[in-house]
Structure 1
Amino acid sequence: MAQNSMAVRAEHQARFVALIEQNRRSMFRVARAILSCDADAEDAVSQATLNAWQAFGRLRDDRAATSWLLKITVNCARDQFRKGARVTYVEDLAPYAGEAEAPLISDLWEAVCRLPEDSRALVTLYYYNGLSIDEVAHVLGIRTGTAKSRLARARGKLKNMLEEDAP
C-alpha cells in the first residue's frame, strides 16, 4: 500500500514538473509584461510555482492547467507590482519579444511594454502565449466581452504608437 502511495506521489510530482517546464517561458513572459524588471518577474514566477504546487492537488481538469497556471502567475505578478514598481529600461525588454530578432518585432514589443499594465497582460496572454479570448478573460478574472473590447483598444493604441514611431 505504501509503495502504491509513493508511485501516485511520484506521478503527481512528474505531472507538475512537466506542467511547469512546458509553461515556464509563458509564465515569465506574462509576469514580465506586468512587471518592469527581470528580477521581479522571476520572483513572481517563483511564487506562482510555489502557489501552484500547493494547489495542484485541487486541479481537476488537466486541459485547464495552462490557463490555471497563468492565472496564478498573473496574480503573483500583480501582487509583486503592488509591492513597488521599478524603472523600465526599453533596452532590457527587446530580448523578450519572442524568437524573431527582426526590428519590427522589437519595435512591437517595445510598444506593448509602453501599454498600461492591464493591456500589456492581455496582449501578452493573447498574442505571445496564444490563449483564446475566453482563456485570457478567465486568467485575468474579467468577462469575455470586456477582454475583447480591451484587446481592441490595446490594438488601436499599439497601431497609433507604431505609426508615431515610424520614420
Structure 2
Amino acid sequence: MRPLNSHVDLVLQAQAGDREAFIQLMREIEVQLYRTAWAIVKQEEDCADALQETMLNAFKSLQALKEPSYFKTWIFRILINVCNQILKKRARTLPFADLPNVVSPSSEYEKIDLWDAVDRLEDKQRLVIVLHYFEDMPLSQVGEVLDLSLEAVKTRLHRARIKLKDSIRTPDDKELIHGESISGR
C-alpha cells in the first residue's frame, strides 16, 4: 500500500471501497466537524448523533462526490443539514423545563468568554464565524458550504463581528461610548 499524501488520495481510495481510507479521512476532520456541530446544536448527545449521521451519510453517498478536492466542503454541508434536522426535531419535542435560560448582563460581564459571545449570535452569523475563524475556511469555501454568495458571507461576517465587538465590551466601555460619565462611581 502506498503512503497517503493528501485528502484527495484518501477520498479516491475511499471511493474505490477502501474503508480504512474513509476512517482516516474522518479522523483527520473529526474535531472540526465536532466543533461545528457544537456551534449549531449545543448539546453533547446531539453532537454525537450529528457526527454519526454525517459520517454514515457521507459513507453511503461518497460515490456521488464528483470532485474529491471538495470533500471537506461536501461533508460540512452534510453536517450542517444533519444538525438543522436535529434542531427541527428538537423544536418539536423540547419540554418547557429544558428551555435554556437567557443570560442577562451582570457584574461578571468583563469575564465573558469568546465562545459565550459566539454562542449568543443568531445561527446564521454564528455558523459563519465558526467556519471562517475556528475552522480556518476561506470565505469562498464558507459560501460553498452554506450555499451563499461571497457577498452574503461577507455581510453575515461583518454583522457578526459588530455584534461580537458590542457583546465583548465591558459596561465601562459602553458608558463611555454613550457619552455618560463614569466618574461618579
* Cα contact 1:36–1:88 (8 A) shared by 2: no
Compared CA separation, residues 67 and 9, structure 1 to 2 (3 A) = closer
| Normalised TM-score (structure 2) | 0.71
The code of the aligned residue for 2:146 comes to L
- The 3-state SS of whatever aligns with 2:113 is helix
Structure of larger gyration radius: 2
Which structure has the highest helix share of the two?
Answer: 1
Q: Distance in 1 between matches of 2:137 and 2:17?
A: 27
Q: Which residue in 2 is equivalent to 1:55?
A: 61
Residue 64 (structure 1) aligned to one of 64, 70, 75 = 70
2:88 corresponds to 1:82: yes
Q: Identity percentage over the alignment?
A: 28
TM-score (norm. length: structure 1):
0.78
Which of 125, 135, 138 is equivalent to 1:132?
138
Q: C-alpha distance in 2, partners of 1:68/1:8?
A: 15
* Residue correspondences, number: 148
CA deviation string 1:18-46 (max 9, x = no partner): 21111111111111111121111111111
Which consecutive unaligned segments of at least 5 residues does structure 1 have?
1-6, 91-102
CA distance in 2, matches of 1:136, 1:15: 25
What SS is found at the alignment partner of 2:137? coil
In the TM superposition, what is the alpha-carbon distance from 1:78 to its structure 2 partner? 0.8
1:36 partnered with 2:42: yes
Q: Give the secondary structure class of the aligned counterpart of 1:60.
A: coil
The yes-or-no answer on 1:163 pairing with 2:169 is yes
Q: 1:49 offset after TM fit, Å?
A: 0.7
* Root mean square deviation, CA, Å: 2.6
Task: Say which structure, 1 or 2, has more relative contact order (CA 8 Å, 6+ apart).
Answer: 1
Question: Does the CA-based 8 Å contact 2:15-2:62 persist in structure 1?
Answer: no
Aligned in 2, Cα 1:20/1:156: closer, same or farther, shift over 3 Å? same
Q: Measure the CA separation in 2 of the matches of 1:39 and 1:139.
A: 24
Q: Which residue identity lines up with residue 62 of structure 1 in the other structure?
A: P
Unpaired runs of at least 5, structure 2: 1-12, 103-109, 174-185
